[in-house]
């Protein structure tokens, strides 16, 4: 499984992903699920993937092929609007799935992949999209300014409590890290390292990017302080009538 998410706040975009892939429980591997594309001053995009690793890799290869092909009718850099690029990613994903549809059906397995795609084109607002395996897609809303793919449930409550469009970019990034950490603790199919990318609105440049292992000082300190803070919050919860007053 996988857990990836993107958050869109007024100040910019945050992308976060885990790095565990598995085909059954006895074939577990580590793969980055984040790709960054940047033409400074022109456009910056981030792509996150979950689902079939074969489909995900094929889509990323096709994106690179089209970027390098001067005769390509469309590519990641030529799309005039971000939603056109989301459409293109959906089309690449569908093409790849169709190519293996018969064989996949025979084997009873799935070649479906989900993608989160987002970024900013100079002069246009930043956007994030969830591209479904069927090739269609949605964008985040002001009321629910985040998108998740993969194992999304464990990490959703903290997003619902913290994230609003007015949240700072750094707080959104911290919240994404907590959301990922909660998922990693509760589900063995989601695992480190955690990748984080941040794009500041209207700063069309290489995104801030960092990879955190369980031993990275920032990740360790975040984990420790969150656990302590949760315990403190828990210990302050109201007592039942018959209990002694708060500790």
Chain residues binding a copy of itself by CB under 8 A are 153-158, 160-162, 170-171, 173-175, 178, 182-183, 185-186, 218, 221-222, 225-234, 236-240, 243
C-alpha dihedral, 114 to 218 to 178 to 212, nearest 10°? 20
β-strand pairing of 113-121 with 43-51: antiparallel
In whole angstroms, the minimum distance from the beta carbon of 185 to a copy of itself comes to 6
Q: Is the dihedral of CA 117, 145, 32, 204 positive or negative?
A: positive
Cα distance between residue 234 and residue 47, in whole Å: 37
User: For residues 172 and 183, what is the distance between their CA atoms, to the nearest angstrom?
Assistant: 17
80 or 161, CB closer to a copy of itself? 161
Residue 173 and residue 171: Cα distance in Å, rounded?
5
Cβ-based neighbour number of residue 67 at 10 Å = 13
**Would you say 88 or 154 has its CB closer to a copy of itself?**
154
Residue 151 CA from chain centroid, whole number: 11
- Give the shortest CB-221-to-a copy of itself separation in angstroms: 5
Q: State both tokens at 136.
A: 């269609």
| Between 17 and 187, CB nearer to a copy of itself | 187
| Minimum gap (Å) between residue 146 Cβ and a copy of itself | 12
Among 170, 171, 172, 193, smallest CA distance to 181 is for 193
Q: How far is the CB of 96 from a copy of itself (least distance, A)?
A: 29
CB closer to a copy of itself out of 10 and 57: 10
Assign 3-state DSSP to the chain and report helix, strand, coil percentages, each to 5. 35, 30, 40
Which lies closer to a copy of itself via its Cβ, residue 71 or residue 160? 160
Q: How far is the CB of 143 from a copy of itself (least distance, A)?
A: 14
CB of 235 vs a copy of itself, minimal distance in Å? 8
Q: Which is nearer to a copy of itself, 92 or 178 (CB)?
A: 178
SS3 116: strand
């Amino acid at each position: 499984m996988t857990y990836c998410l993107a958050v869109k706040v007024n100040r910019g975009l945050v992308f976060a992903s885990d790095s565990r892939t598995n085909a059954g429980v006895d074939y577990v591997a580590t793969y980055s699920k984040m790709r960054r594309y940047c033409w400074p001053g022109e456009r910056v995009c981030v792509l996150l993937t979950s689902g079939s690793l074969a489909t995900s890799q094929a889509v990323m290869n096709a994106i690179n092929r089209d970027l390098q092909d001067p005769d390509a009718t469309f590519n990641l850099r030529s799309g005039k609007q971000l939603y056109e690029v989301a459409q293109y990613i959906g089309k690449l994903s569908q093409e790849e799935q169709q190519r293996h549809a018969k064989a996949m059906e025979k084997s009873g397995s799935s070649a479906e992949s989900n993608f989160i795609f987002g970024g900013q084109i100079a002069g246009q607002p930043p956007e994030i999209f969830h591209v479904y395996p069927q090739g269609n897609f949605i964008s985040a809303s002001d009321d629910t300014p985040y998108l998740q793919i993969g194992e999304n449930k464990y990490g959703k409550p903290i997003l619902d409590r913290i994230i609003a469009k007015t949240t700072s970019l750094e707080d959104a990034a911290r919240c994404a890290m907590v959301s990922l950490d909660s998922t990693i603790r509760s589900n063995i199919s989601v695992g480190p390292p955690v990748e984080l990318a941040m794009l500041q609105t209207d700063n069309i440049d290489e995104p801030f990017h960092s990879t955190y292992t369980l031993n990275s000082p920032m990740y360790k300190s975040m984990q420790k302080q969150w656990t302590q803070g949760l315990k403190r919050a828990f210990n302050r919860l109201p007592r039942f009538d018959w209990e002694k007053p708060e500790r």
